[in-house]
Amino acid sequence: DHPVSLYAATKKANELMAHTYSHLYGIPTTGLRFFTVYGPWGRPDMALFKFTKAMLEGKSIDVYNYGKMKRDFTYIDDIVEAVVRVQDVIPQANADWTVESGSPATSSAPYRVYNIGNSSPVELMDYITALEEALGMEAKKNMMPIQPGDVLDTSADTQPLYDLVGFKPQTSVKEGVK
C-alpha cells in the first residue's frame, strides 16, 4: 500500500481503479500480478535479452546492488498456464466482507487479485550465473549500487492462485534461461 517507485504506484493505481469499477458497476474483475517474467519473445529491455546481447557483443552488463537483490523470476510458460487456468473463473462478491474484518484478498465487489510468480526469489548473481552457463561464457560485470526506487526482494505469494486453480509456477531459472 506504500509504493516506493512510480512504476509500483501505477500498478497500485490500476488495481484501485479496477476494484472501484467492480464495486460500482458489479463488473467481475480479476487482476493478475506477474513477477519478473522472462523467456522467449520477451521484452528486449529486460535482463534476459539485455544481458545476453551485451555478453554476445563482449560488452559489460550493469549489475545493480552488486547483484544482491532478489527477484521472483517467472518463466513465460508458467505465466501463460496460470492465465489460461484463471481466465474462466469468475470472481464472486463476498457478502460477509467488511472494512473492519475484511481481508485484502477478498472484497464486497466481484474482484480478486492473484500473484503469478515462482515464490522462490533468486539472487541476481545466481540468475547471471545461470545465463553464463547456458551461453557458455562469462559476463563482464559492472557492479553498481542500488538505484533509487529499486526493491531488495520480490516474492509472490501464490497460495491463493493454487487454491483457485491448483497450479503454481515451478520452472527454475536454470531451466528457464536455456
Around Cβ 69, how many Cβ atoms within 10 Å?
Answer: 19
Q: Which of 7, 111, 114, 162 is catalytic?
A: 7
**Which of 95, 158, 147, 85 lies closest to 121, judged by CA?**
158
Asked whether the predicted pLDDT for residue 101 surpasses 80, the reply is: no
Q: Is 163 inside any structural domain?
A: yes
Q: Are 82 and 178 within 8 A, CB to CB?
A: no
Q: Tell me: pLDDT of 156 over 80.
A: yes
Is 109 within the bounds of a domain? yes
The answer to whether residue 1 sits within a structural domain is no
Note if 7 is an active site residue: yes
The count of C-alpha atoms lying within 13 angstroms of the C-alpha of 100, restricted to the half-sphere facing its C-beta, is 0
CATH code (residue 19): 3.40.50.720
User: For the chain, percent helix, then strand, then coil, each to nearest 5?
Assistant: 40, 15, 45
φ, ψ dihedrals at 46, nearest 5°: -90, 165
Q: What is the pLDDT of residues 28-57, one digit of tens each?
A: 999 999 999 999 998 889 899 999 999 999
Q: Is residue 97 part of a domain?
A: yes
Q: Which domain holds residue 34?
A: 6-176
Per-residue confidence at 104, pLDDT binned at 50, 70, 90?
A: low
Mean pLDDT of the chain: 92
Residues 106-122 pLDDT 10s: 788 999 999 999 999 99
Residue 73 lies in a domain: yes
Residue 22 lies in a domain: yes
Domain tally for the chain?
1
